[in-house]
Structure 1
Amino acid sequence: MKVEHHMQSSNTQPPALRHPEAIRAFGLAPLIDGHNDLAHAARGAANYSVDGLEKDSIFQTDIGKLRGGGVGAQFWSVYAPGEIPEADAVQFTFEQIDFIYRMIRRYPQTFELARTGGDVRRIWQKGGIASLLGAEGGHSIGSSLGVLRMMARLGLRYMTLTHNSNTSWADSATDSPVHGGLTDFGREVVREMNALGVLVDLSHVSPDTMRDAIRTSSAPVIFSHSSCRALCDHPRNVPDDVLRSLTDNGGVIMVAFVPMFLDEEYRSWFDGGRNGPRPPVTVEHVVKHIEHARDIAGIDHVGLGSDFDGFGDFPDGLQDTTGFAVLIDRLAERGWTSAELAKLMGDNLLRVLDATSTESVSSTQ
């Protein structure tokens, strides 16, 4: 039987917590969010300025809101739109990596770059917010393994194989399939990511690409921000057979909070022109997806991937990063123990980071 050893963080508990099991959970593991689009939001709204992020910002994410939600580690998305030329996407992505580096330098008492599970634990234990990089869309490497290797040297820890459009080597969930999954080069990309310690992120990809990548990958995969197809038939969500395969692969689905992925009625309202009142979407919808993923994939294979600052509308009570505390409290009310909550919050993802850290990645710190 595996014995897990937890270390207490020096972070104060989020103010919204009420349930004793939730309070204990925040002392056992860092809450790791798998996907946040602050860098892209800041590009459009603030010309990449890193000022004004202490609190009460215009964004769904700032230091005060992260603290209010108890976030201990954040995967910052470095995202380029899929419809722009690949060379522009490479530049776009490097600019967003630069934004994260500048934000860390601007707020050194809060943020620190993390590359490994050990980094995350160390930063969290001293009260900081560990900051990891994840590229959203394979077009960001411009079909170049050399660019992928350079991004890995800068700390890239996952890459989503597609965004909303196909790449020349992988099918997207929201485009017409042309490859039937991965091409030969796509499988080469996956193998190179494995060698570099860059996690294969299967959010946004087609079910065939999901299955192909899981068969190809020698390392655990992740879904950085996806929900469950059985509960909401959105193409961005994950079918149950793929969820089951995470048990053998060792990967993690990080459940997204985007209402279109959570509720069929909301999706129909949104896609149909948003006529009439907005259908209610609440923390209970997120809870249902988390518990479905747990029931199908197992408690060791579920996490959280909000997509804050990547969409304008979120469930009631989860409108910004303070909502993480509300969600964890609600799960505790439903009978989740502190140890189970710790797995969901961060221990499952830390296991994957530990399993995929390589000398080539850690030696570049």
Structure 2
Amino acid sequence: MNRLGMLVDLAHVTVEVMNQVLNISRAPVIFSHSSAYSICPHKRNVPDDILRKLNESHGVIMVNFYNDYVTCSKTANLSDVADHFDIIKKVAGAGVIGFGGDYDGVTRLPEGLEDVSKVPKLVAELLRRGWTDVEVKAALGMNLLRVLDEAQKVRDSMKDTVPDDIPIPYEEIENPCRTSYGYGDINAGAVHSLSTVVLLLTLTLQTLLK
């Protein structure tokens, strides 16, 4: 994904995967619609130690407006959402924050943020709480644009990198949530291992012939 210039979005992954990706990704990553775990300890939210890592890697967390992730209950209001902005800013700085309302994917929204027309009210609340114009503009879009730009720079720096096209053996990823789609028949693991060997031999020959 780094090589292709694709953004890595960690909004739906476990803390273990968050750490794994932050440790290996050369480009900044995003949480496209997540909030602060310290306020609402929901598995979809981001713990403080991850927020600090996100700051170090220049990524962005875009605050989700879904009530269940804002207050861990069915009700919330605009002030509750602003609290998430404040705590993330306190832990990791204003440079990692974005707006990730998730208006097209949730069933409950805070009082005062029922639709996108209400977003200026949240901006006004942040300004009232002492956020600067520069910090608000960064959260509204400049932080995300920076991440996009940096992801493209990483892509350009990896233009001569050979893609890692060696598939993972099916038996190593088999679990109740995964199908065998793309692996052929029931002997996919064996076939897969053979195709891996063939690919490695081909790459070796190509290297020797250069």
Q: Same fold (TM over 0.5)?
A: yes
The aligned counterpart of 1:356 is: 151
The aligned counterpart of 1:215 is: 23
From 261, 267, 271, give the equivalent of 2:69.
Answer: 261
Is 1:233 the counterpart of 2:28 in the alignment?
A: no
**Structure 1 runs not aligned, ≥5 long:** 1-192, 271-278, 360-365
Looking at structure 1, the residues matched to 52 and 67 of structure 2 have their Cα atoms a distance apart, in angstroms, of 24
SS of the aligned residue for 1:254 comes to strand
From 91, 100, 117, give the equivalent of 1:322.
Answer: 117
Looking at structure 2, the residues matched to 251 and 216 of structure 1 have their Cα atoms a distance apart, in angstroms, of 13
From 82, 86, 106, give the equivalent of 1:287.
Answer: 82
Which is greater in Rg?
2
The aligned counterpart of 2:172 is: none
Is 1:198 the counterpart of 2:6 in the alignment?
A: yes
From 346, 349, 360, give the equivalent of 2:141.
Answer: 346
| TM-score (normalizing by structure 1) | 0.41
What aligned pairs does 1:124-135 form with structure 2 within 5 A after superposition?
A: none
- Letter of the 1:206 counterpart: T
- Letter of the 1:339 counterpart: V
- 1:216: how far off? 1.2
SS of the aligned residue for 1:196 comes to coil
SS of the aligned residue for 1:200 comes to coil
| TM-score (normalizing by structure 2) | 0.71
- 1:205: how far off? 0.3
Structure whose residues are more often strand by fraction:
1
Looking at structure 2, the residues matched to 332 and 248 of structure 1 have their Cα atoms a distance apart, in angstroms, of 26
Structure whose residues are more often helix by fraction:
2
Question: 1:245-294: per-residue Cα shift (whole Å, max 9, x none)?
Answer: 01211101111000000113x1xxx5xxxxxxxx4x11011100011111
Aligned residues: 155
The aligned counterpart of 1:252 is: 60
- 1:334: how far off? 1.5
Looking at structure 2, the residues matched to 300 and 312 of structure 1 have their Cα atoms a distance apart, in angstroms, of 29
